[in-house]
Amino acid sequence: MPTHQYSKSIPIGSRSIHTTSYMRIPVGCRGESYKNTIPVGCRVKAGFSIPIGKREKTYLDIKIGCRVYVDEVINRFSMKDEIKLRSSIEYSNPDFIFDLQIVIGDLSRSKIPTFKIDDNWYFISDRQMQLIDKVYEGDSETILPYTAYEKYVDETGHAIACLYFTTPPSGVITVSGKGIVDDTGTLIENPADIIEYLLLDIQGYTESIIDKDSLAEFKQYCLTKFIKLAMIIEKMKVKELLDEMAKNLYSYWYISDGKSIFRSFE
């Protein structure tokens, strides 16, 4: 771990700094706004852990000779970030390696692709679904006996949606159904709720990266216009997905002072 000597601030990305004089570190500084201080959420250690991330303008004094460690955390959104999907390699001896997609919204009139884990088990979504409606083998509904699990706790302890066939199918398996739900079991289909779920639940960012006021206004706009979304989240950059959503919703988004802001053109 490299050691750098600074008398005033800690550069972003540095993991260890040996101070040469007293430093005053503003608590809650953003990496985007303060290029020479600490990103929100990092921990500064000077003999013990001191959490950084409060919004108040307070300061932490570090004495001469203290060694300061900055721990990286997920606290800000980068345009280069990819959507964090798990992979089938997390399972014991999967037949195929594939990214674990996430089903969003009402796709009861569509055909959702499944992925073969082994001869009997077929993966649908890496989150609990509200409904697995119909199961198809090729172009027709399957006649094979199966069990549909909207919520199945896999071997890693993660809740997924999947199918189990008593007799292994020979054709391509697809399903129709409805995707992820909130804590009350309600289908998540409002674009604003999907954005929040993407950034907080899937990506694991902190709430500080979302402009809550603009997102609340955007949610109300979608409710008023009866706008709902359905999609399958696959491997891509977060920015690419948000751009595609904005284009389809006659809206736009941008980052200001480290917060993601969402607006409608209307």
- The residue among 159, 135, 137, 129 whose CA lies nearest residue 147 is 135
Contact 257, 33 (CB under 8 A): yes
Contact 88, 154 (CB under 8 A): no
| Calpha distance 233→202 (Å, rounded) | 10
Residue ranges of the chain whose pLDDT lies below 70: 1-77
What single letter denotes the amino acid at residue 23? M
Q: pLDDT tens-digit profile of 61-74?
A: 444 445 444 433 34
Retrieve residue 236's tokens.
């891509």
Confirm whether pTM is higher than 0.75. no
What single letter denotes the amino acid at residue 243? D
**N- to C-terminal Cα distance for the chain?**
51
Q: pLDDT tens-digit profile of 2-29?
A: 333 333 344 444 433 444 444 444 444 3
| Calpha distance 203→181 (Å, rounded) | 17
